[in-house]
Structure 1
Amino acid sequence: MNKRHLFLALSLFCFGFWTWTSAQESSSPPVEEKQIEESPDLSAEFSLLQEEVKKLRLAVEEESAKAVTPVTIQIPKINVDTAIEQVGLLENGQMGVPADEDQVGWFEPGVKPGSKGNAVIAGHVDSKTGPAVFYELDQLVAGDEIVIVDEAGNTLRFEVTKTERYETANAPIKEIFGATDKRNLNLITCSGTFGSAGYDERFVVYTELVDAEIPLADDVVLEIPTNVELRGTFLTWHAVRNDAVIGYRIYQVIDGENVHLASVPSHARKSIEVPDEAATYYVTAIDRLGNESSPSEATE
């Protein structure tokens, strides 16, 4: 079973752990199919052939294997500098918890910090004896720094983008654990009022990678499509000569916003009909891991 998708077995528990009901588990599609749909959903967008689907799976698995294994987390604003435990799923389907309330737990079956996707680290807010490691997590605001240190002492620096409080039953599983082409790290702890069923809220800190001391496995700079021209209502461009490129995305500029108009597989004709010959368009290249090139020169 692919580790990157075990988050689908989670449901919110204590400081942010999820499980699906047995009915949901029994109706879930096979992992092989789910992997392609979520890591990332390129097969549908670019109509990949079967051989390309296999290559995509291998590329995703290779990228995950080379990513950073976290051992320490540092949050300067709230004086956190502690070890990271690796936790997984318990026999009852719940996510494991750190054995030490002064340490945090990284969901090891999920995304590794620094990889594309949502890596998740959780920590206790308190214990029977007093405050725990994430007691002051709710003091973080956008712009604050989170540092992850790997086994070799290399650091990944994340920056807080937002914080949210959710009622236990309404926490968005896909937003916290789901697939994304960004390199996110989400921190979770308990919040709200404590009752017989535990805390009634979950506090989530969303962060995004801003700096890394080492090259990451899928740091790729793709060539930019060239010779992008608009001839009447037909947009044309030249292919990028790279076997890893599986397709192209076409964007239209509407009221200053770049709107994804269409996607074209690499084996198809590099030409599409566009809705407005007076509009501005540009094209990007996409590889098997979902990396996207910089935009081409815009049409005039």
Structure 2
Amino acid sequence: MAAEKFPQPKPSVPSPKNVVRPLHRVLLWPVAAAGVGALLLCNSFGIGFGNPAGDAKVQSAAAASATPRTPLPAAAAPLPRSEPTRLTIPTIAVDAPFTPLDLDTSGKLNPPPADNTNMVGWYRGGATPGERGAAIVAGHVDTKTGPAVFLLLRTLKRGNEVDIARKDGTVATFKVDSVETFSKADFPDKRVYGDTPDAQLRLITCGGEYNRAAQDYEDNVVVFAHLDSFKGA
């Protein structure tokens, strides 16, 4: 199985929030029984540091092809740092615990456990969900045993709610702003992983066509969301 190449960490990178092309290693899994037809699903992740300034050509291409978006509503005031414990997305029947994720020695994000189809990973080197910045959450769409937690992530719509329970007793509610698919060849790392002035969330999995020669998906699905409210504590 071919391994995807990733840029290596650079000492000048000030924040681990800037990362690029977050998925590799795939397999085919029939999911007709789930009512969504046969689907090529992602088996694990590899996330590496990107250029915090962004690639000018990539940014220009993305800006030129982007569909005009409705202005986003203002996010709620950020919360103090607190680790996430559970992710709930009622629209797609997600109710899953978190596991913290770290970078390996090559700068790739270690994936959530492959033997657990109902677990999501949070990159603990970045913002916690609800804290100022873009919190990064990754999940499998399948494992070797079957469909997994982010199987239906791409079906979310603007306005859908994402709830994240935190260790401090609060539940942060995010509202989806957009669900977008990006080519891995032109992945807008600065837009997806760059710092933000308010509390935002990125949910990431794989999507698009499966490239048999590269043994990888050609695209990534990214859900952009902002902190709308919180309760508790």
Give secondary structure in 2 for the equivalent of 1:96.
coil
What's 2:187 paired with? 171
**Contact 2:20 2:187 survives alignment (8 Å):** no
Query: Unaligned regions of 5+ residues in structure 2, if any?
Result: 1-10, 25-43, 53-77
1:124 partner amino acid: H
Query: 1:114/1:144 Cα in 2 relative to 1: closer, same or farther (>3 Å)?
Result: same
2:47 matches 1:18:
yes
Render the CA deviation track for 1:1-52: whole Å, top value 9, x for unaligned: 9x9811335443337643248xx79xxxxxxxxxxxxxxxxxxxxxxxxxxx
Looking at secondary structure, tell me which structure has more helix per residue.
1
Residue of structure 1 equivalent to 2:136: 120
- Offset from partner CA, 1:47-66 (integer Å, 9 cap, x none): xxxxxxxxxxxxxxxx99x4
The 3-state SS of whatever aligns with 2:103 is coil
Unaligned runs of 5+ in 1: 26-62, 216-300
Alignment equivalent of 1:70, drawn from 74, 77, 84:
84
TM-score by length of 1: 0.53
Change (3 A) 1:174 1:17: farther
SS in 2 for 1:159: strand
TM-score by length of 2: 0.67
Deviation at 1:113, TM superposition (A): 0.9
Greater RCO between the two (CA within 8 Å, min separation 6)? Answer: 2
The 8 Å contact of residues 113 and 183 in structure 1, kept in 2 or not, is answered as: yes
Instruction: Please identify the structure whose Cα radius of gyration is greater.
Output: 1
Identity across aligned pairs (percent)? 30
- The partner residue of 2:227 within 195, 209, 220 is 209
Alignment of 1:197 with 2:218, yes or no, is no
Distance 1:133 1:4, change over 3 A: farther
- In 2, Cα distance between the equivalents of 1:189 and 1:158? 18
Residue aligned with 1:6, SS = coil
Q: 1:214 to 1:174 in 2, by over 3 A?
A: farther
Q: CA deviation at 1:148?
A: 0.3
- Root mean square deviation of aligned Cα: 2.6
Equivalent residue for 2:16?
Answer: 6
Distance 1:137 1:155, change over 3 A: same
